[in-house]
Each structure stands twice: as C-alpha cells, then as structure tokens.
Structure 1
C-alpha cells in the first residue's frame, strides 16, 4: 500500500495559470529557456531555471542560481501571483493532447514509500543531476515540479474523480503547444478522505518520469530528518509532490536513435551483417518506416528506408529486459555492428523523441548523422514488468507525452 496525502498547495491565481505553467526544467537548456520566457515575466522557468535571470556566464550550478530561484518563488507569493489553499486538498489534473486525455490525482507521496520500494523505479540516476535538484529543493524549501507516477488499478477512484470533474475547474487553458490543461481542487474533507481510502488499494506506484526529481526530494527529506532527530513523520519534508495517472491513460511515444557513422562499414556491408539477426526489406516506395509492432525497426541510411524484423532466437521473450526493442537494437546492432558500447556516454549517438516526428530522423541524417533507427514505443506494462523485478530499463527507453507542466502546484517543505 502506498500513501496518498492531501496538502495545502501554493498555486497560481486563475488568471495567471496559463502564463505561469511551464515545461519541466530538464526538457530545455538555459539558452532555450531564455527564449521561452521572452516577454513572459510570470513563467515558472524563472524559478525552475533561475539562471535565466542572471548573467549568461554564470555556472548553472552556482549557489547564486539556487538563491535566485528562492527569491523568484518568494516574489510570486509576495506579488500575489500565487495563493495557498487554507486546508489540505487533493487535486485533479487533466491533460488533453490531440483529442486524447489523461487524468491524474495530485497529492504528496511519502519518502518512505520511495525508500521501501512502494514507489518503484526503472532508471538509474546521475549524482550530478541529483545534486542540482537537491540544491534547488533545499534552497526553495519546496517541491516545484511534480513527479509523474502511474499505477495498475485503473478504476480505483475513477467514479469519485469523474463526479468531481463535473464541477467547474479552477484552471482550464491551452498551452502554446496545443495541449489542454484542466485542474480541479478537491476541497471537501469527506471526499478527500474517501479518495485517500480508495487509493489504499493501490499496492505500488511506478515512476513514469522524474527519477532525478524524486531521488532529490527524498534526499532532502532525509537530510531534514537528520537535522530534526525528533521528527514525527508528519512534517511536510517527509513527502514530495506527485501526480499519479492510471496506466491505461498513458501514452509512451517512440524514442528513436541516430548515429554519426557506420563504424567503417559500407551500406552493403552493414546490411549483410544485419541479415544474420534481422529480415531486412527495403521500404516500398521508400516511405518512412514507423514500426507498427514490437521487434520491428525502421532504418534510414543513404536516403533509403528499410524495415528490420528481428529473427526468432535473438532475444529471450521471457526476460522483461532482453525482449525490449531498445535492448534488441542495442545488443544486436548498436554494440556488435556499430561499435557503440555505452549509449549513456558515447558521442556518436543521439536520441530523438517521437513527438518530433519521423521526418526529424531524415533531417538529422542529412544534417549531421549517418544512420537513423525508428522504434516501436515501449509500453507502460514493460516499464512495470522491469520495475517489479527490481531492474532498470535500458537508457532512453521511454518518452512520455504530454509533459506535465511545472508551476501549477508547489509543495512547501516547512
């Protein structure tokens, strides 16, 4: 059983919600963030990427950046851009992208559930990225970006949530990328307690996106426990901001690969080597290949598209990791043929989220790469299967859309 806790969110006033809400800090760099906030002093990027308000020469991990983030967050409250709910509430966050919706519950998750693996992970984290968010959370004394969770029980509180969403939302706007964002506040104590009780049937939550943010939030909580040895467990630093969506609401998009060279091979030699592990077929009329089933890949090289179908026996269907398409490509193409041993560190490979479209692969091959591979999307059930056995997904396995907006909910730690 994983804990769901109501909290008193600090959140935008209704008329500023659309201007404040921002993409997560880690989907853009500083230069891109500076462009994105042009003419928008309200954007939450002024908090999540506070270096944009300092000289561009400053190191993004300088303490001045974190201090500026705290200053900007405090000013949003002082300037009454934000208000805080008077009583602990739960929140409903719905996103609609191209007619498809996902509806999640916003609450505070327990750092103990994370530690005890009631909140399951499927990615490794990097110490430098963790430290950046540890500093950010610590300085701001707040969780500023929600962790994206999912769970298996898809109807656990659906009727209660559906009934509440018939009320007028507090926010209802369309962001610049065409995605609708709708938020309701569950401020009725009886309904709040009912939802919390219903979620006790959820055995575990799974992190869909936000491994670094969740790890950092937990470490800040542990740091504060150490500084407060008489803590009771009820203090806000024992919890972190999360949004949980039922698994059947979510869409994982393809996460494609482009490589700078053919590792010294000609195209003919490459295809000859591929024939041992794949059935290789040239695309009819050279149409771009967007795989429609597992274990099938598109390959674009020298202005031609090919279909690669994995042969039987090159993967173990009973192994949750070995049968993943990202693992099949890595184990049978990227490493043995193209010589890329570690996709985390190699500068010969890049990754392109499916949101950018299949033509982006062609563009990159014509610009600065030599070969591209289009992938069939990893499924949410694959992520859960890997997390359930305590393992991690291969790097760059998942690309979730739409992205949760930061700035709509802030959870103060004290």
Structure 2
C-alpha cells in the first residue's frame, strides 16, 4: 500500500512563472549562471545560489542561511503565493521529442523505510548529510523525487480528463519546453487519488535517491507529529512506461599503459570486435557496446560467458566495468576516479568523438540504455546499479512548486 498526501504548496504567481523557474543550477555553465543572475531578477537561481560571485568564499552554513533569506524575500515581494489548502498537482512537460505527465504529491518516509518505495542506486553519505542540512536550514525543497508506478488505466484516464480542464500555468522555456500545471483541490479527487495509490503495493525511485535519503535522515532527527510535511517528501509520480531512460556513455583519459593493438587484443577475449571506421555507430540492443578509439568507431558484441548470470552481472554497465574498465583500464571507483567522465546518452556521440579527438581523452564507450524492467528487478532484489548507469527524464523545473518543511 502506497500512501500519498496533498500539501500546501508555495509557487510563483502565474504572470512570473516562466521567469522564476529554472533548471537545476548544476546544469548551467558559469557564463549562463552569470547571465541569468544579471538579467533576470525573478530567476529562482537567485534563491538557490545566493551571493553567486562570492559563493566560494562563504561557509555552507552562511550559504544555506542566504538561501532561506532570499526565499523569504521572494515571498515578501509576492513573487510566490501559497495554496489556501493542501492540494495535488498534475504536471505536464513537453520537450522537443517527448511528453511526460505525472502527479505531484507527498510520499511517505515510512513507506521509504519499509521498502514500499524501492531504490536501485547507492548514495554517498556526505551528499545525503549535506542535503539534509540544506533542508533543515532552508526549510524547503523544490526538487521532487521522480517515482514510477505501474501503468494503470484508471489513473491514465483520470489524468487525461484532468488535462481537459483549465490549467493554472501554461508556459514555455528558453530550452524550447512547454510546461502545464493543473491544481487538484476537490476533496473527492484527492480522496480518489489516495485510494488508487493505496492499491499499488510498490513504487520505484527513478531519480532522486539522495533527496529521499536526506529526507529520511531529517525525519529521523527532527520527526514531529505536528509537522506532517516532515513525515513525507515531495515526489513526482509518473507511469513507468512514460519514463525516458538514457544511458551514460564513458570517456577515459588513457589506456592504462596499453598500446592500441594490445588493448584491442585484450578486448577480443570477451567481445567480438568489428571496426566501423568513421561510421557513427551506436549499440542497437543489449550486450552491444560502441567504442571510439584512435580515430575509429568499433562495435563490441559481448560473448556471453555465463549461462546463468545474476541480474547485476547481466547489466550492460556492470559488464563494461567487470570486463574492461576495472581489469584493463584500472578504474576501481566509478564515482571518484578522475580518469573517467560521463556523457548523457541524449547528447550526440559527436560530442564524445570531439572530446577524444581534442586529445584530453583517449577512448570512449557507448552503452545501450537500460529499461525499467531492469531497474525494477534490481530494486526488487536489493541490488545497486553501478554509478552513472542511467540518465532519466523528465527533469523538474526548480522553483515551480515549493514543499515547505
């Protein structure tokens, strides 16, 4: 049984929503950040990245307090308004290639603790504690955890009917996305949605493992029966077939002492290798890998060596690590080794080629994206994917909906 709650959201006024909302600030280059902060006084970047110019010179404690103060300034200036009662939202994101629609709500930390809400990625404790301190000192969160639920005809039809009603927001962004938000405030609709999710035995985190873990840690430290929002964390619930999963491709700075021919010979132990020369080749199915090395693209077809592999051993990202990255290239720590970097699969493989041709990297690997069934199977068996195995959309706009603690 999955428990969800409505909440008294804080959100931008309709006339300013397109100016306020932003991508996660990590997605902006330094030049983009400077431009947005200089020319758009309403950008939520002013809140989540206060004192941008001096950000490296102040302590985290002062930075978090600055976030809290700037957020309060936005509320005092009536840039934000608060809902009169707890509500749900239906939110649609239309990109150039995909459309995503889901439900914004609070999901239960007790469900998270009891594995009703399942996870497939490991977390770094320092990041969990850092974001927990951020939540505690700022008193709000605006980036929901992306959670999938099994496709459900009743929910799908209800959402389709809801989208026929007038929205409270409909706006476009500079990256050519369209965003639409509907408020769900009728008691009958709220109760019906809660009852539908009570029938769903398990939910799966797609993106946001650190955020959910930080919410749990804050709950453990600050649990308060009079503050229900602490017992839940904001989530964006979306049907599992609507999630778009991309791979993360890998680029490595050197061949760990191997000559090109020697490296290819070692790869031949585990892969059938076909030289595609200058063809921009990407994997077409599971157990296929692309490689760019020494000016040529290669197709690598994995020689299945185990007739009964585990779920984790069957994962392409794990195969690449077990057969190439760790034993041949000497990369033990996929998170922290400075010799490896990652490129989201939604980017052109020309990006990978250009970075290697420029000389800073020597070899790149392209993977075939995982699917939702692999993610669920790992989560069901309490297994963890290798770091940077998936790049998942949709991505939520910061500052669109604020969940106060």
Range class of TM-score, shorter chain: over 0.9
1:302 and 2:294 aligned:
yes
Structure 2 residue aligned with 1:57: 56
Paired residue for 1:279, among 229, 254, 272? 272
Superimposed CA distance per residue, residues 146-165 of structure 1 (whole angstroms, 9 cap, x where no aligned partner) = 11111223435111111111
The alignment's TM-score, normalised by the length of structure 2, stands at 0.95
Compare 19-28 and 72-81 and name the one that shifted more. 19-28
Superimposed CA distance per residue, residues 351-399 of structure 1 (whole angstroms, 9 cap, x where no aligned partner) = 1112321111101102210000011111122111111111111111010
1:261 and 2:249 aligned:
no
Compare 136-145 and 147-156 and name the one that shifted more. 147-156
Superimposed CA distance per residue, residues 17-59 of structure 1 (whole angstroms, 9 cap, x where no aligned partner) = 111111124445777644443312222222223352x614324
Q: Is the 8 A contact 1:92 1:106 kept in 2?
A: yes
Compare 165-174 and 101-110 and name the one that shifted more. 165-174
Paired residue for 1:158, among 156, 163, 184? 156
For 1:4 and 1:343, the matched residues in 2 are separated by 35
Identify if the C-alpha distance between structure 1 residues 29 and 223 changes in structure 2 by more than 3 Å, giving closer, same or farther.
farther
Q: Is the 8 A contact 1:154 1:248 kept in 2?
A: no
Compare 303-312 and 19-28 and name the one that shifted more. 19-28
- CA shift, 1:209, in A, is 0.9
Runs of 4+ with deviation above 6 angstroms: none
For 2:215 and 2:32, the matched residues in 1 are separated by 26
Q: Is the 8 A contact 1:137 1:144 kept in 2?
A: no
Compare 41-50 and 300-309 and name the one that shifted more. 41-50
1:150-299 correspondence runs (5 A) = 150-225=148-223, 228=224, 231=225, 235-283=228-276, 286-299=278-291
Q: Is the 8 A contact 2:254 2:362 kept in 1?
A: yes
Indicate the RMSD between aligned Cα atoms, in angstroms: 1.8
Identify if the C-alpha distance between structure 1 residues 216 and 30 changes in structure 2 by more than 3 Å, giving closer, same or farther.
farther
Superimposed CA distance per residue, residues 270-323 of structure 1 (whole angstroms, 9 cap, x where no aligned partner) = 11111110000011x52111111111011001110000000121x566522111
Identify if the C-alpha distance between structure 1 residues 322 and 95 changes in structure 2 by more than 3 Å, giving closer, same or farther.
same
1:134-153 correspondence runs (5 A) = 134-153=132-151
1:8 and 2:8 aligned:
yes
- CA shift, 1:409, in A, is 0.8
Q: Is the 8 A contact 1:119 1:207 kept in 2?
A: yes
Q: Is the 8 A contact 2:151 2:241 kept in 1?
A: no
Paired residue for 1:391, among 383, 387, 404? 383
For 2:55 and 2:221, the matched residues in 1 are separated by 31
Identify if the C-alpha distance between structure 1 residues 303 and 252 changes in structure 2 by more than 3 Å, giving closer, same or farther.
same
Question: Which consecutive unaligned segments of at least 5 residues does structure 1 have?
Answer: none
For 1:147 and 1:187, the matched residues in 2 are separated by 22
1:367-386 correspondence runs (5 A) = 367=358, 368-386=360-378
Identify if the C-alpha distance between structure 1 residues 28 and 197 changes in structure 2 by more than 3 Å, giving closer, same or farther.
same
Compare 39-48 and 106-115 and name the one that shifted more. 39-48
Superimposed CA distance per residue, residues 56-97 of structure 1 (whole angstroms, 9 cap, x where no aligned partner) = 4324x5211001100111111111111111111110111112
Identify if the C-alpha distance between structure 1 residues 14 and 396 changes in structure 2 by more than 3 Å, giving closer, same or farther.
same
For 1:149 and 1:42, the matched residues in 2 are separated by 29
For 1:28 and 1:149, the matched residues in 2 are separated by 25
Superimposed CA distance per residue, residues 315-338 of structure 1 (whole angstroms, 9 cap, x where no aligned partner) = 566522111110111111111111
Identify if the C-alpha distance between structure 1 residues 77 and 96 changes in structure 2 by more than 3 Å, giving closer, same or farther.
same
- CA shift, 1:125, in A, is 1.3
Question: Which consecutive unaligned segments of at least 5 residues does structure 2 have?
Answer: none
1:346 and 2:337 aligned:
yes
